[in-house]
Homo-oligomer: A and B are copies of this chain.
Amino acid sequence: MTARPLRLDPDRLFPADPSTRAIARALYADIADLPIVGPHGHTDAGWFADNEAWTDATSLLLAPDHYIYRMLYSQGIDLDALAIPRRNGTPPTDPRAAWGVFAANYHLFRGTPSRLWFDHVFATVFGIEVALDVGTAGQYFDLIGDKLATPAFRPRALFDRFKIDFLATTEGAQDDLSAHHRIHASGWGGRVVTTYRPDGVIDVEHEAFKPAMAGFAELTGEDVYTWTGYLNAHRKRRADFRAAGATATDHGHPTAATANLSNAECAALFAKIVDGSWTLADAELFRAQMLTEMAAMSVEDGMVMQIHPGSYRNHNAGLFASHGRDKGADIPTRTDYVRALKPLLDRFGAERNLSIILFTLDESAYARELAPLAGHYPCLKLGPAWWFHDSPEGMRRFRETTTETAGFYNTVGFNDDTRAFLSIPARHDVARRVDCGFLARLVAEHRLADWEAAELAHDLTSGLVRRAYRIDQPLPAMLAA
């Protein structure tokens, strides 16, 4: 079988109607090359600190990508065959063989964003011109391995090649930020910053809550087992994170529930969390109260809050037992915002210095709850289509269901939200194309003037994200030095 060509069409993702496509093309041409701003993601800061070469396609592109192996797993493929680590160690699978399994099943990704991202990576990062399939798997594996061994494919070189202007990683409250400190100490000019994600010391249901608290105590020197000490420890760590460039916090909770307890109630609840006598309702209430406490600290220190609620984590009990968390078994759930956020908003809804970016995995909330909330409260903005919805159709639905109520200006641009560093340009490119397609439709339907759409294309790509994440505000002393 002759290999199929791999070719990225310059008009990909634009609407098919010729007049609309022409408008989209023009809008896109104007913003396609703007630098990338990645205000929320999960790349490894160590890559940029140490700038070591990645070794092979499987360990870089396949094994860490839960979008990929969950789909293969759903079709009956054993995770061991893909070299996915188990709790008791990584299976001794030949990386080349694992890559072959992926290639032989690449058709499963037809119609998915993973397919778009991978083809973009193959074509633009590695310059490959044949499609991935069982016949080209070996050729791919070798070529990618060879290129990764060259200086041009080290993390910092790709960071520059990708024209990344700002990249946020995410670290836990118990992280010592050493990788970020090494980046800053190195004198390298790339702006890679951290984000404060304290879930590990807030979610008492997490299996690693105790060691996280121990690390939190050690790093802060606070008695984190008292309510006052615990809050002080958060304040200290937020200052540490700001010193490492952070402009934002992030909160991944099962629900969007917030609470507004009295100080005495907080102390009593916290005592139960600490002494292990908590119920599931206590755990939820504590998470809810902590969102409000984090908002209180954001009012003080100006850090932007991100709330990512609604994932039922580790739904597959057997897989969690064998492989641990984050193995593609997180399933979205119906998520309420209107009642959930009210305690926090009752207390801080009018604060000028507070900015909260809301995300959802429940698209039914876009038009019904999120756009009306963001279209009213000064402190609320809408994060982009998230996770399962970070896709052409998902982004289109996001714009179609939020714009008419919240407008464009209560949204915050794109998040790549990824640990797959090589896919970052692909993901931003999809977002830019889909946004230009949406704007083009508004122009074609005479709902927006062409010059307005051009302004908006710039804002959706660059202006909104920079403002929403406060990335051009004066940096803290350590970084500015």
Write the residues of chain A forming the contact surface with B, with a CB cutoff of 8 angstroms. Answer: 4, 8-9, 11-20, 70-71, 73-76, 107-113, 115-116, 131, 312, 315-319, 328-334, 336, 338-339, 342, 345-346, 349-350, 352, 361-364, 367-369, 371-378, 380, 388-389, 391-394, 400-401, 403-410, 441-442, 444-449, 451-452, 455-456
Contact = CB atoms under 8 A, between A and B. Distances in A.
Contacts of A334: 336, 364, 368
Given A12-B447, A316-B345, A363-B364, A372 B331 contact: yes
Given A16-B441, A110-B456, A336-B334, A4 B404 contact: no
B448 A76 contact: no
A374 B331 CA distance: 10
A367 B364 CA distance: 10
A107 B318 CA distance: 52
Given A315-B342, A378-B73, A445-B15, A407 B368 contact: no
A75 B409 contact: yes
26 contacts: A12-B446, A13-B446, A13-B447, A14-B445, A17-B17, A70-B375, A71-B407, A73-B376, A74-B378, A75-B378, A75-B410, A110-B407, A111-B448, A112-B403, A312-B339, A315-B373, A316-B377, A330-B372, A331-B376, A332-B338, A333-B368, A363-B364, A363-B368, A391-B404, A392-B404, A393-B403
Contact of A312 (B338, B364, B442): B338
Contacts of A312: 338-339
A394 B364 CA distance: 13
Given A75-B409, A377-B74, A445 B371 contact: no
Complex copy number for this chain: 3
A413 to B, nearest CB: 15
A109 B442 CA distance: 13
A433 B16 CA distance: 18
A368 B361 contact: yes
A112 B374 CA distance: 14
A109 B407 contact: yes
Nearest to A332: B368
A393 B389 contact: no
A15, A342, A388: residue with the most chain B Cβ atoms closer than 10 Å: A388
B364 A404 contact: no
A338, A367, A376: residue with the most chain B Cβ atoms closer than 10 Å: A376
Given A315-B338, A349-B316, A452-B107, A13 B375 contact: no
